[in-house]
Structure 1
Amino acid sequence: MVTRTTAPPSSSPDATTTSAGVPTCPLSTLPPEVADTVDAIATNGPFPFPRNDGVVFGNREGHLPAEERGYYHEYTVPTPGASNRSTRRVVTGGLPLTDPAEYFYTGDHYDSFCLVSGIEGQS
């Protein structure tokens, strides 16, 4: 399990921007459900929306660095009290699916992303 707090991402003094223009955000500053989703990815589920979780993310808006189709996969981050998938997602980049090279978080349904840092086992 990962350690986390519930401080909002904007309060993090560790936030930086990658060379691709995507800001970074420590896992500990994100909603606790993000860490739960990261844990589920590492164990290949179970996922709350199995028909949608783990599918290829197309990056059509181009908010993430350009990669070949199939590089990115998306996972639902449950929102307490929501009756549907809501707007929060983790998008992973790279293989294997259970240990991807990158984790991105969006809380606004793909309008913006941050590269998640502080994930155990991640370089």
Structure 2
Amino acid sequence: MTQNPFDALGGAGGLDMNALLQQAQQMQEQLVSAQERLAEATVDGTVAGGAVTVTVNGTGELVGVVVKAGQFDGTDADDLSDLGDMIVAAYRDAKAQADALAGEALGPLAGGLGGALGGDPGDGGLAGPGRLGF
């Protein structure tokens, strides 16, 4: 028996730990880069013909809300309730777009991981909207 148990795996068809670690480091760098690009990207969700527009970044973080002037009377409780509902709807629209963007950006990176990180190998492991916290 050799001193290093991994020596037995060497040779033809053996496990190259250095290559595996290098590949993992490259994937980590690509993932960080993709997450940085997502944080800089923005998408808009709009409802009621543009009466309310919500902007989120690619990670789903709310970065802006615009309410078109003259659309709501701030003294009417029903109008304010409707405004709240529209903001929520616009956010959901924008968040769905951000999730799709994240799936496009991260899917190829996470897809190669398969079931090794707890995902279903049939659907690409962790790939897909919302699975990496986006």
> How high is the TM-score relative to the length of structure 2?
0.24
Q: Which has the larger share of helix?
A: 2
Q: Which has the larger share of strand?
A: 1
User: Quick check: which has more Rg, 1 or 2?
Assistant: 2
Highest RCO, 1 vs 2 (Cα 8 Å, sep ≥ 6) = 1
> How high is the TM-score relative to the length of structure 1?
0.26
